[in-house]
Chains A and B, each alone.
Chain A
Amino acid sequence: MKKWQQRIGNWLTEHLELPSDVVLELPRITTIGQIHAYIENHQGLILFSDNELRLKMKQGYLKITGNKFVLRMMLPEEILLEGTIKEIVFIED
């Protein structure tokens, strides 16, 4: 069932040029160099500390590491992260 849904989603984004983050419910991550990361459409916060941010996605996790992390703003499904970003890792479970 899930696979089938994803297939339709893929087809929609390819042929109708709909934004993939909306259709596939994937997070959209915007970074400004190393200093900012703007994450939309996430599914919830799992962990936040001075040097790590872990967010839930529909499938798996998003892990951002770095240091001096501050959450500049937090809205439902939106997070603005500030600090020095070292890496962004997608972890699938």
Chain B
Amino acid sequence: MKHTQGVFFSGYVTIKVHGHHPELFFDLCSRNGITVWNIKKTEAKTCIGNIKLEEIPQVKRLRRKTIFKVSFIHKKGLPFLSNKLFVHKPLIIGLVLSLFFVGFLSNIIWDVHVKGVHPEMEKQIEKQLSSYGIRPGAFKFKVQSPSKIQKQLLDDIPELLWVGVTEKGTTYQLEGVEKTLVEEGEKKYPRNLVATKEGVIVDMYVSRGQPMVEINDFVEKGDILVSGTLGEKEEEANSSPEEEKKDKKNELVSAEGEVIAKTWYKSNVNIPLKANYETLTGQYTNKYYLRSWGFSIPIWGFKNPGYEKTSTEIVDNPFRFLKWELPISFVKQTVYEKTEKFVDRTKQEAKSAAIKQAQKNLQSKLGNDAEIKFEKVLHEREENGKVKLTLYFTALENIAEIQPISQGD
């Protein structure tokens, strides 16, 4: 039976043979190596049977030598089917185009919703988003992941406290929470300013309240620097009659001001004498791929950039069809050039690098307002190719901290 297997795919025809003893024609065919099957005698002079599509010319050649009349009655199989299909070419073209179109539209951002913020902010967010390439009509696979957008938005719009970005098919929904700037509502509440750490007062700018310390005073942590209770100081000292009126009232205010003090810091730094680290040179090349089922087909950037050391970043954006992700994705690969740097420091160089590093660390801890000065090296040791230093710094910083006065009502 294997002779007629798969005959559907290659196509076959049913022929009708007319003449005296029509079965003999099929016999003739089979003797000449033509496969014939399903032979039926319908009438005394007619016989029908199937032959393969590719063997029709041979059958025709044989028929010429005989007096039988052969006609084709059925055509079956894939070649005929596809032929039939190709008759409706516009239909197929339309179908392919429409699939393409739907696919194309599924990869486009249709809408961006911003919720939870007032219109002014909404405009700003939308503007920012469109600068990232997120606006209706933009291609989706150029857009980063929602979490990255979220982070970027928070960095670029400082007024935003939180923003949630969700991607729902072809729309982006953003929900934002603005920072409500507290308009010093606490002004009304009486408060003191106390020291956050010990130090020597260098400067004071008190705009409201009673200063309790003076320049060059040493304060401990928790000491009251500016009191919210007016007239307190006078109470302690023997007050003059003029001021007695005031301290009876003991007016409570919200202390306000800045107290700059000199503070001390000790920090331990380890720094190796020999070090190697990698830096990016800033040179990079982009490569684009189409990836499906683990296979990558490069579509742009075939050249090998010829960098000695590289670090690669891969961004994978899958294509979509309606709400489904297709197994095909657009991959952008960025290859950065890297250089390795070896540093062989002398002890002196290591020391200065350590000081710089420690100062930087301290600055980030204290904030930009603090003024840090290196004083001296307290301790120095060399061990296992590393220099261990204990450094001493002084800083000028604001040490005032708000402490509310409990009114005891």
Contacts and interface: CB of A to CB of B under 8 A. Distances in A.
Contact of B40 (A47, A70, A75): A70
A74 B27 contact: yes
B38 A48 contact: no
A7 to B, nearest CB: 30
Interface stretch (B8-16, B29-37, B176-184, B303-311): B29-37
Interface stretch (B18-26, B128-136, B226-234, B343-351): B18-26
B27 A73 contact: no
B355 to A, nearest CB: 97
A74 B39 contact: yes
Contacts of A44: 27, 31
Given A45-B23, A47-B21, A48-B23, A74 B30 contact: yes
Contacts of A75: 3, 30, 35
B399 to A, nearest CB: 104
Contacts of B216: none
B287 interface: no
Given A45-B23, A45-B27, A48-B23, A73 B4 contact: yes
Nearest to A56: B27
A49 interface: yes
Interface residues of B, number: 22
Contacts of A86: none
A73 B23 contact: no
A84 to B, nearest CB: 14
Of the candidates B33, B37, B39, the one having the most CB atoms from chain A within 10 angstroms of its own CB is B39
Given A44-B27, A49-B41, A76 B36 contact: no
B87 interface: no
Interface string A15-50: 000000000000000000000000000001101111
A58 interface: no
Contacts of A69: 41
Task: Name the interface size band of chain A.
Answer: 10 to 19
A45 B41 CA distance: 14
B229 to A, nearest CB: 115
Contacts of A48: 23, 26, 39, 41, 47
A46 to B, nearest CB: 8
A45 B23 CA distance: 8
Contacts of B26: 45, 48, 71, 74
Nearest to A51: B41
Contacts of A80: 1
B2 to A, nearest CB: 10
Contact of B37 (A45, A47, A72, A76): A72
A57 B65 CA distance: 25
Contacts of B21: 47
Nearest to A73: B37
Interface in B49-72: 49
Nearest to B44: A49
B150 to A, nearest CB: 70
A76 B39 contact: no
Contacts of B33: 76
Interface string A47-84: 11110000000000000000001111111100010000
B30 A70 contact: no
A71 B3 contact: no
Contact of A73 (B3, B41, B47): B3
Contacts of B24: 45
Given A45-B23, A47-B23, A70 B38 contact: yes
Interface of A: 44-45, 47-50, 69-76, 80
Interface of B: 1, 3-4, 21, 23-24, 26-27, 29-31, 33, 35-41, 44, 47, 49
Given A71-B23, A73-B4, 11 more contacts: A45-B23, A45-B24, A48-B23, A48-B47, A49-B41, A49-B44, A71-B37, A71-B49, A74-B26, A74-B27, A74-B49
27 contacts: A44-B27, A45-B23, A45-B26, A47-B21, A47-B23, A48-B23, A48-B26, A48-B39, A50-B40, A70-B39, A70-B40, A71-B23, A71-B26, A71-B36, A71-B38, A71-B49, A72-B37, A73-B4, A73-B37, A74-B26, A74-B30, A74-B36, A74-B37, A74-B49, A75-B30, A75-B35, A76-B30
